[in-house]
Amino acid sequence: MARDNKAMISGFRCLCAFIFVISACSIASFLYSCQCTSPCHDPGREWGQSLTPNQTIDLLSFPEAWNNLNFPQVPPPWRMKIAVFVKKWPHRSQAGGLERHALTLHLELAKRGHEIHIFTTSPINASSFPKYPFPNLHFHLSKPTAAGYLDQSTVWDQFQAQNSSGSPRRPFDVVHTESVGLMHTRSRKLTNLAVSWHGIAYETIHSDIIQELLRSPEEPQAYSLTERAVKVVEEVKFFRSYAHHVATSDHVGDVLKRVYMIPEERVHVILNGVDEEIFRSDFKAGKNFRRNFGIPKSKTLVLGIAGRLVKDKGHPLMFEALKQMIRENAKFRETAIVLVAGDGPWGSRYRGLGSNNVLVLGPLEQAQLARFYNAIDIFINPTLRAQGLDHTLLEAMLCGKPVLATRLASITGSVIVNGNVGYTFPPTLELLKRALYRVWSDGRGVLEKKGEVARQRGLQFFSATKMAAAYERLFLCISSMSGGDTENQCQFEDSSR
């Protein structure tokens, strides 16, 4: 009896200590909500905490990003026949996010042995269509509609033909559409279908608000906010016609469940991934790149920008911030240089800032882009587009570089989750400048430390392998649900934890 009491008292003490630690942490995290480095307020570490070792997870209702889970590296013995609908197949590496996602994911799945049929539009110059060394990767091209979409009745006929092809006859195990590649009018018939969203109207409203706040009085209003809200309502109505939804950021997963009211077990978060064999840390390549472009040793801070140099991506803001900093601060002018990769109207303006401080490199092929990331100290993405999840941030992280980006929900929720991987700024000129000065004063030593954390995080979450393994498992799960497999692929036990 006495022993039981003693045990109870010490148990009670433990509990008190535990409560004390928890409340201390929550106060601390309240006080330092931005810069806190304490493990108590580190969403990166909070991820996956709901899991205990060897716990069996019901994947379809798993609330976090599937990138948290360690699916087996080896492909499953069962090879799926997968139909993919994508408006446009990328021909060059400078494609948009949706196309890059389609390319990276489905080449990876083809590598894993699955039979992939891609239904996409034919390019203007058919002989320029890329070729791949996979006999199990098939393209079915069709002429786009006047608005550039997939012609739904043509692709449906092509799909039906392939669904009854093969000997013995083999229907598709699963259908994947990148955004509205396959429209809801056709999709509603399919239970073994997943749609990946790369930008939804609800996110776009945030971009509209930012653009409206930054608009100068003489510029006309770009979008009607009322029209956008109507668009959200339309999406809420037709999204439910798709059986399964893949959100490419935690934020969008949340919006799909709460605002779009899609049942939880039909919304899955799988973050974008990039090719980790191309985008990796390579000190020597970075050094050579700097030497080839004649960057002097006196430049102790090399900033990098990449992508389309257009207004949407925040380049007017970035340009103005740099212009002011170069003008007002002689020390910054001497010690900092910005490398700009990519093309677009703002390229020539950046060039106007003088080659002593800004080098405009033009668009770079993937391998060269990887060297570019390795040559810089920090990657900056001032994007004002809240839609989707920018691949450039992930590429820079996999190359071991910290990132500075706009404080958008998709970015703070899934990528720059704390100050250990980089910096975020609310999109105003003043706050961007403040963030840039902060980066500059932190200097190379601090940036290298953050870069290493960014690389670890990149490898853990944003590799193409990780993304493909998660999609593969989702596809196995939803195809088995529709009657294909005997084993339940929707349950998962992560024994590597």
Ligand X SMILES: *[C@@H]1O[C@H](CO)[C@@H](O)[C@H](O)[C@H]1NC(C)=O
Which residues bind to ligand X, rule: CB under 6 A?
Answer: 53-54, 125, 127-128, 160, 163, 171, 189-190, 495
Contact 225, 167 (CB under 8 A): no
CA distance linking residue 466 with residue 68, whole number of Å: 9
In the complex with ligand X, which residue's Cβ is closer, 35 or 127?
127
The encoded tokens of residue 436 equal 């840039």
Smallest distance, Å, CB 473 to ligand X? 19
108 to each of 23, 111, 187, 458, how far by Cα in Å?
Answer: 45, 5, 24, 18
Concatenating the DSSP letter of every residue in 278-334 gives TS---HHHHHHHHHHTT--TT--EEEEEES--SGGGTHHHHHHHHHHHHHH-HHHHH
CA-closest candidate to residue 223, choices 208, 204, 203: 208
Q: CB nearer to ligand X: give 56 or 298.
A: 56
User: 402-430 in b/e burial notation, b at 16+ Cβ within 10 A?
Assistant: bbbbbebbbbbbbbbbbbbbbbbbebeee
What residue type is 208 in one-letter code?
D
Which CB atom, from 5 or from 52, has the smaller least distance to ligand X? Answer: 52
Considering the complex, what minimum distance in angstroms separates the CB of residue 345 from ligand X?
Answer: 24
Nearer to ligand X, 33 or 495 (CB): 495
> In the complex, what is the shortest distance from the CB of residue 52 to ligand X, in angstroms, rounded to a whole number?
8
Choice between 93 and 428, CB closer to ligand X:
93
* Cβ-contact 436, 404 below 8 angstroms: yes
Q: C-alpha angle with apex 488: 484 to 489, nearest 5 degrees?
A: 85
Residue closer to ligand X, measured from CB, 56 or 216: 56
Least Cβ distance, residue 163 to ligand X (angstroms): 4
Least Å distance, CB 180 to ligand X, is: 17
In the complex, minimum distance from the CB of residue 159 to ligand X, in angstroms, rounded to a whole number = 7
Nearer to ligand X, 190 or 415 (CB): 190
Cα separation of 276 and 24, whole Å? 39
The minimum distance between CB 236 and ligand X, in angstroms, equals: 25
Nearer to ligand X, 366 or 456 (CB): 366
Cα of 489 vs its chain's centroid, Å: 25
Nearer to ligand X, 237 or 497 (CB): 497
Count CB neighbours of 149 within 10 A: 15
The smaller minimum CB distance to ligand X, of residues 392 and 479, is found at: 479
Instruction: Identify each DSSP E strand in 61-136 by its residue range.
Output: 81-85, 115-121
DSSP class of 274: B
Shortest distance, CB of residue 95 to ligand X, whole angstroms?
16
148: left (phi over 0), alpha (psi -120 to 50) or beta: left
Report the DSSP beta bridge partners of residue 304: 339, 379
The closest residue (CB) to ligand X is 171
Q: How far is the CB of 56 from ligand X (least distance, A)?
A: 11
| CB 263 to ligand X: min, Å | 22
Least distance between ligand X and beta carbon 182 (Å): 10
Question: What secondary structure, in 3-state letters, does 204-270 show?
Answer: HHHHHHHHHHHCCCCCCCCCCHHHHHHHHHHHHHHHCCCCEEEECCHHHHHHHHHCCCCCHHHEEEC
Closest separation in Å from C-beta 190 to ligand X: 6
Closer residue to ligand X, CB minimum distance, 169 or 331: 169
Nearest C-alpha neighbor of 406 from the set 434, 421, 386: 386
Phi, psi of 170, rounded to the nearest 5 degrees: -135, 110
User: Counting beta carbons within 10 angstroms of the beta carbon of residue 366, is it exposed (0 to 12), middle (13 to 18) or buried (19 or more)?
Assistant: middle
* CB nearer to ligand X: pick between 216 and 495: 495
